[in-house]
Each structure stands twice: as C-alpha cells, then as structure tokens.
A and B are shown apart, each in its own frame.
Chain A
Amino acid sequence: MTSHTDTRPVDVGALPAEPSSTPAARRSPVLAGLRRALPIVGALVGIAVVWYGVSYLVLPARQRFLLPPPHEVYGGAFSNPQLMGPMLEALGRSFAVALVGLLIAVVFGIGYAVVMSQWSWAERVLYPYAVILQTIPILALVPLIGIWLGYAFPARVAVCVIIALFPMIANTLFGLQSASAAAHDLFTLNKATRWQRLTKLQFPAAVPSIFTGLRNAAGLSVIGAIVGDYFFQQGAPGIGGLLRVYTQRLQMEALLTSVTLTALFGVVVFTVFAVLDRAVVGRWFGRTTR
C-alpha cells in the first residue's frame, strides 16, 4: 500500500499500457489477447519454478512442510470439500465486506470531493481530514475500531472504508478540478448555475478520474476486508479469519491455498474494475486512463 498526501490522482496499480498500437495487435484480437496474457503466464511459471526450487532444493526434506510443493498443496486442497467448502464461504463473506465497504467509500468519497470542489474554503477545511485518514496506519486504528464498533461485520467494513476512501476522494477531486479554464469561462458566459456547472461540466470531466479512483479503491477494499476479518473475528469468519486459524495450526496446505484464493480474489476484482474503466471511459472519452 502506498501513502499519498497530495492532490495528485492516486493510482496504486495502473495496468500496463495496452499494446494495441502495434501492427500485430491491430490485425488480430486473438493475438493481441495472447500478447497481453503472456507476461502473466510467464509470471505464474516463474512463481512455480521458484516455489519448486525452494521446496526441493532449498528446504531439507525435514522442513519441507514449511513450503510443500505446489502439486501437493493444490492437489490436496482443491479436491477436499471439507476444506474448500468453508474456504469459499469465508471468501464470499469477505467479498460482501469488501463490496459494502467499497460502496460506502465511493458514495462518501465522491460526496466529500464534490463539496470540496464547490468552495475553495471547503477544500482548505476538509482536505486535511482526508490526508490524516490516509496517513494514520490502519493497524493503529484497529484497536479503536474494535472498541467502538465491536469485533464483527461493521468493524470489518470500517477497515475497508478507511483504506478505500482516500483514492476515491483524491481522484474525484482531481477530476472535478480538471475542466479547463476556458470551459469554465464558457459556462460563466452562458450564466450557468452552480448546479449546471457541476452536473454538465465538472462531474462529466471527472468520470475518467473517478474510474481510476474506483479501480484503486476496489483493490484496497479487498485488502481492507482481509485485514478486517483477520483482526475482527466475531461471527462467521472471512477468509482473513481462516488465514489466522490456519497459521496458528500450521496447516500449510490450507494456508497456502487460502493465500492463493485471496490473491485470485484481488486479481479478479482489480480486473473487473479495470475492464469496466476501459469500457466506460474508452467509449465516452476515447482514451484509456493512464
């Protein structure tokens, strides 16, 4: 996680630039898809190679339980409904936490940025709170959240909101302020009301940035959900809760499988929002956001 304390747009994980401008990519979408998938496939192969290397070459047989080779981990876990059942349920609960947290962060973040964009004194007064929220390490807040909100669902959601909020606020504000001075003059000359200026100029101009914010907030919200249910264990466990249980019992296969699941979860969420971003912003604005 990165920590940003300025008004520049926050992008914790932009996708690499689309290589669609290369002639080959333009000719064939299949080829283009393959080209884009290649680095990811390469990375997965790389991980597997290192993993096997550590399991068989680095670790002595006695300690191999610390990192069993991939086929043992996944071969055992994925075919075991007793393990997979609770794991997927827990993942579903974490998903719910992340989604609710994201929703609150989006609504509140956009609202907060809109208020700041309308009056310069509002920005001066309100922006510091956003920065403070961003700069306090979430772990420092965990005890307080627990005491105030209990140790169940609301507390988990609160963690999501707190870490997803800042990119929403910062990106939305940046977008709302991105319209050119000339465009503002155009509205002034036509005697636009504040509401017209917001809805017909500032907000549409902010859409690409809002999507950038959304993409980052979604990724952070997943992290928030997992951190949240790692610490707030009351009620049915989320995937973060299971991580903790497996760690305590040193169930390495289960632990590595659930780590893999959380990684997949994060990748899926990030991809969904990246695709959404590209689809909406690409259609309306004819460009991909960074």
Chain B
Amino acid sequence: MRPLTTSLATSTLALDRVTKRFPTGTVALTDVSMSVAPGDFVSVVGPSGCGKSTLLRLASGLDDATSGTVDVTAAATSYVFQDATLLEWRSALRNVELVGELRGVPRDERRARAQDVLELVGLTGFEKQHPRELSGGMRMRVSLARALVAEPDLALFDEPFGALDEITRLQMQTELQKLFRLKRFAGLFITHSVSEAVYLSTRVLVMSGRPGRIVAEIPIPWDYPRPPELRYAAEFAAITGRVSAALGEHS
C-alpha cells in the first residue's frame, strides 16, 4: 500500500480509505483510514451497529474490504471475542492449548506455554476447571490467555468486557492494562464504554452512526501504569467529556 505518512509505514495495522458494503446492500463502513502502531492501544467507540465489529473483522482478515486497503504487518494477530467463546468440553488449560494444537506446536511446549499465560492472567490452580465452573470474569481471563499464548504483535478486542458486571469489568481493565505493558502487543479495542476506552488507551477513535466513519481522534496523554483512581480525576472527566461530545454530535 501507499504509505500516507511515516507513522503509517511502521504501523502494525493500517486501513486506508476502507469501505465495506455487504451483499445485502448494507454499507457498514465508508472511507475509514486509521492505523495502529507498535506501542499503540487504540480504542474505538461508536453507536451500536456503526460497523465496529466489521472494522475488526476486516483487520483480522475474517472479512474483505469492498474498497480501500487493509494492511497488516503483524506477524501474529489474535482476536478476543465478546463472549469468551471457550470450548465448553475443554478445561481452561486445554482451551488455551487449542491455539498451539491448531498450529502444530508440540504438546509439551504448548502445554508449558499455556500454563505460563494462565499464570499471567491469575488462573493458576484453575487449569483443570471447565468453563462452566468458572465465573464470567475468569472465563474472560481464559480468553485473554488464549489470545496471548500466540505472542501476538496485534491484539483485536471486540467488546470483550461488555457482558461483565461493573466490578469485574474494572478489574479486567486493570488486568488488561498490565498485560499490555508486559506483552507489548499493539491493541485495537472496541467498546461501548467511553470511560473504558479512555482509561485503557493511547488513542480513542470515535465513529459516526452507520455507515461508520471515523469522526474524531482523541489522544490520551497519561503514561502506564494508570492507577484505578485516575477514573475519578478531573482531567479524566475532561477527556471522557470530549469523547462523549464527539459521540453525541455524530450519532
């Protein structure tokens, strides 16, 4: 693809004037250009049905753009689904191992790696449990572990915490932030929650209602780790206010 700026040339993911029209005639995205560089954690907020999931599916290669280019330079991409999407007949450990199994990683190696990531997400001792025996938050941790076990350069998240209760949700945000700093993947994160987007991200993109366009890009200034109390700071409220205003103008 033709690099627009130098930052795009080094990006992990770059979309250039992407449009997506489904065979049904629905136009989900129009003229979307955006990029995610290493070290970026980009959140996308937008009204329901504006094409956020579609954007992620294009980025992951699950679906193709109608026009424009999607350029992924990441060697490994992983995807976290809205509900944990675990295989209910497999234990937590075997769910994480699945990725290695599908890619032909030898058993001992993939098991050791799955074990390590489960420890990282705080699930040591729960390896043998089946999804039904885990809480919603724990299932999402397994799902995060499964995404991280492939050592992705780019991690895509489609409203992963949308189904969790408020308390668990805040815990998972802290957890994800820790993982982001530790594993150094670039993140593209879809959410409905403005405060979640602001708390987690280096940048927040605001999309308009369908057909989705990117109507605002708001950089988030704070370094990581960000303390949970940041959510109550005046400067935090100021930025969430700006995001909400951009959302309100275009939905």
Contact = CB atoms under 8 A, between A and B. Distances in A.
Nearest to B99: A190
Interface string A176-201: 00001011011111111000100011
B87 A190 contact: no
B130 interface: yes
A284 to B, nearest CB: 5
Contacts, number: 51
B79 interface: yes
Nearest to B146: A186
Interface in B117-161: 130, 132-133
A187 B101 CA distance: 11
Contact of A182 (B61, B85, B99): B85
Interface in B175-231: none
Contacts of A205: 87, 89
A285 interface: yes
A191 B133 CA distance: 29
Contacts of B79: 185-186, 189
Interface hub of A186, A191, A205, A284 (most chain B Cβ within 10 A): A186
Contact of B103 (A191, A200, A204): A191
A207 interface: yes
Interface string A271-284: 00000000000001
B33 interface: no
A107 B90 CA distance: 25
Contacts of A187: 102
Nearest to B78: A189
B102 A182 contact: no
**Looking at B77, B101, B102, B103, which has the most chain A CB atoms within 10 Å of its CB?**
B102
A223 B87 CA distance: 37
Nearest to A281: B89
A286 interface: yes
Contacts of A201: 87
A189 B147 CA distance: 11
A185 B156 CA distance: 13
Interface residues of A, number: 21
B85 A186 contact: yes
Contacts of A186: 79, 81, 85, 98
Contacts of A196: 101-102
B83 A182 contact: yes
A201 B102 CA distance: 11
Contact of A200 (B82, B85, B102, B133): B102
B60 interface: yes
Contacts of A190: 98-99, 102-103
Contact of B102 (A180, A191, A207): A191
By DSSP majority rule, is chain B's interface helix, strand, loop, or mixed?
loop
A205 B98 CA distance: 15
B109 interface: no
Contacts of B61: 189
Contact of B85 (A180, A204, A207, A285): A180
B88 A286 contact: yes
A116 to B, nearest CB: 22
A192 B98 CA distance: 10
Interface string A155-184: 000000000000000000000000010110
A97 B85 CA distance: 43
B81 A185 contact: yes
B4 interface: no
A187 B103 CA distance: 10
B238 interface: no
Contacts of A189: 60-62, 77-79
Contacts of A287: 132
A204 B130 CA distance: 14
A196 B85 CA distance: 17
Nearest to B84: A182
Interface string A41-81: 00000000000000000000000000000000000000000
Contacts of A284: 89
Given A188-B62, A189-B60, A286-B133, A183 B102 contact: no
A204 B103 CA distance: 19
Contacts of B132: 285-287
Nearest to A207: B89
Given A186-B98, A196-B101, A286-B88, 5 more contacts: A182-B83, A186-B81, A189-B78, A190-B98, A284-B89
8 contacts: A182-B81, A185-B79, A190-B98, A190-B99, A200-B101, A204-B90, A284-B89, A285-B88
Interface of B: 60-62, 77-79, 81-83, 85, 87-90, 98-99, 101-103, 130, 132-133
3 closest cross-chain pairs (CB), A and B: A286-B132, A190-B102, A182-B85
